Structure 1
Amino acid sequence: MSRESKLFRVNLAEELRTLRKQAEMSTRSVAAELGTSAAWVSRTETGARQPNQDEVTSLCRLYGATDVLLRLLVEKAAASDGGGIELPTLDTYTDQLANVMLLENEAHRVTEYELALVPGLLQTTQYARQILSTVDRAPAELERRLSTRVGRQTLLSRPNGPELWFLIDEFALLRPIGGDAVMREQLLNIVKQAQCPNVRVRIVPSFRGAYPGLDGPFAVYEFAALNTYVYLEDRRGGTFLTDSPGVRQYVAVRDELWTEALDEEQSLDLLREAAERLNDDGTGVAQEQSKRIRDQVRRGGVPV
């Protein structure tokens, strides 16, 4: 399947099909067990029909799914509206972004690790505009990308949405993108979004020195029944990893970073302190801010 021209199949239907194959059952044998038709099973697995919660429960029990897996898929059935992802035009950028959005919407856990910037799902409009403006684009194209990036953030508050884990290197907080006022708003927005029950934010402090992850940002998408995906983004676009050895390496790095980072409470304290050091009148000094935060963390954490 070409990632340039087609979307990944990672929806509920595909997960049910994966479970059936793992159970080594045919569509006919499933139909016989449930008193339905093979066509019903096939249409459920291709997405031609949307199964309800009771149907998903029956299928999961027939396939021997764990209670945790059953719960995740039933929640997905309850949250699904049967709709798709709508983007303005059909081009290379749109198709690749649609893949990312589909992964975000269908995963039960998303982890974003960023080395130099605030993750896109946490960016304010003004911060995102500054980032997107670093590339020479027509005004209409800039607004299109900005609207799409901000629109993705409905994921943060979606009922039964995925777990969203964010790992951010401390230096991403010290770069005054757009000036002090814009950056202060950005830092406080991270604190605000971290209050959502499905959102967790951890900061990797600068005093850690060299650590796995310094070679670049990545995102990990984990599913109830499907294999994990990893997305690597660069200036030209991005690469999706699905091979098990490569994916396992990034999951291991994610797990190590999660342990090495400050915990959630310490991370939010660091964010609040960084925001307080920035003045709305633009007189804040990034270098002074960076030095003070690093000194405080080295002494055992940022004061509350």
Structure 2
Amino acid sequence: MAKQSAPTVVGRGLGGELRQMRRARRLTGSGVATQLGWQPSKLSRIETGQQGIRLEEIAALLAIYGVVGEERKRLLDMARRGREPGWWETHSVGLTPWSRTFIRFEAEATRIVGWEPLLVPGLLQLPEYTSALMKACGVAPADAQARVAARLGRQAILARDEPPELSLVIDEMVLRRPLGGRRLMARQLHHLIEMADRPNLTLQVVPLACGGHSGLDGAFVLFDFDRLPPVVHLEHRISSIFLEKPDQVDVFRREADTLARSALSPVESVKLIAQVAVEHERE
């Protein structure tokens, strides 16, 4: 019998997709498990990312769910990558496999720690700001519409009864870049001020007076979960990587702490955001 691999980032993302497929077909976990001769707990562990899955097992699940063609090939390829620690994914347009995994991690995380030196964090973006970003980056209108919709959908986690804890640090340059024009930017900054009043959100700004700092290397997001290991996400224009090794995650956790210490306090950060919003309105 082939040795079963431990679940990794890809395996956890794959498990979530399998769970969504089963629910979309209105099948119970116990019913599917019975067809395969499994204990229901096995399917549950696979779907929650607590147990890895062999290729022959996912092939059997896809047969039950009636998944064929390119979608079957994509999921089997994903399962093969699931044996590898970490996950590097390249893409061109539209929503990609890593996008779906990122959204799932965001929805399942109990705490999200993020650093953004260039842009307003996605969970705090107005739809008009997101649209302006897509246009500025040269994203095709059809793909831009899908991405804007997906980003709005992601923000639904903030309205949950028990939303995740958010600790977000941004650079002052994020506030001063008039993406979409100064009027839109002023509205976006007022939205940040409103969001910063939420009890689950800590928003800080690293002032330009800080000069150079290690956060200039680029943005990152760190996800903490209730019962699963943390994951760090890094993104580039045409690629994305998930890191899960403890020493890798520790590097970014320390970096997040360093940036928070370099930033203004949450109260002073809101004052700066309000000041810059007024400057945009006056221009």
Q: TM-score, normalised by structure 2?
A: 0.69
Alignment equivalent of 2:225, drawn from 223, 244, 260: 223
Residue of structure 1 equivalent to 2:258: 256
Task: Give SS of 1:262's match.
Answer: coil
Task: Give SS of 2:280's match.
Answer: coil
Residue of structure 1 equivalent to 2:78: none
Count of residue correspondences: 216
Contact 2:15 2:47 in 1 (8 A): no
Identity of aligned residues (%): 30
Contact 1:125 1:146 in 2 (8 A): yes
Residue of structure 2 equivalent to 1:85: none
Unaligned runs of 5+ in 2: 1-6, 20-37, 49-69, 75-90
Whole-Å separation in 1 of the counterparts to 2:241 and 2:14: 13
1:206 positional shift: 1.2
Residue of structure 1 equivalent to 2:203: 201
Contact 2:109 2:223 in 1 (8 A): yes
Superposition CA RMSD, Å: 2.7
Residue of structure 2 equivalent to 1:164: 166
Q: TM-score, normalised by structure 1?
A: 0.65
Unaligned runs of 5+ in 1: 14-37, 49-88, 285-304
Task: Give SS of 1:277's match.
Answer: helix
Whole-Å separation in 1 of the counterparts to 2:100 and 2:259: 28
Alignment equivalent of 2:150, drawn from 148, 153, 156: 148
Contact 1:121 1:153 in 2 (8 A): yes
Post-superposition CA distance 1:2-27 (Å, at most 9, x none):
9789825589x9xxxxxxxxxxxxxx
Residue of structure 2 equivalent to 1:20: none
Matches within 5 A, 1:69-80: none
1:138 positional shift: 3.1
1:277 positional shift: 1.5
1:155 positional shift: 1.7
Post-superposition CA distance 1:32-87 (Å, at most 9, x none):
xxxxxx93543543449xxxxxxxxxxxxxxxxxxxxxxxxxxxxxxxxxxxxxxx
Residue of structure 2 equivalent to 1:17: none
Whole-Å separation in 1 of the counterparts to 2:247 and 2:203: 27
Contact 1:113 1:218 in 2 (8 A): yes
1:7 aligns with 2:13: yes
1:266 aligns with 2:258: no
Matches within 5 A, 1:115-194: 115-194=117-196
Letter in 2 for 1:181: R
Whole-Å separation in 2 of the counterparts to 1:8 and 1:203: 35
Whole-Å separation in 1 of the counterparts to 2:43 and 2:16: 16
Post-superposition CA distance 1:121-175 (Å, at most 9, x none):
1111111111111233332221111111122111222211210111100111111
Letter in 1 for 2:13: L
Letter in 2 for 1:235: R
Structure 1 137/258 Cα, relative in aligned 2: closer, same or farther at 3 Å? closer
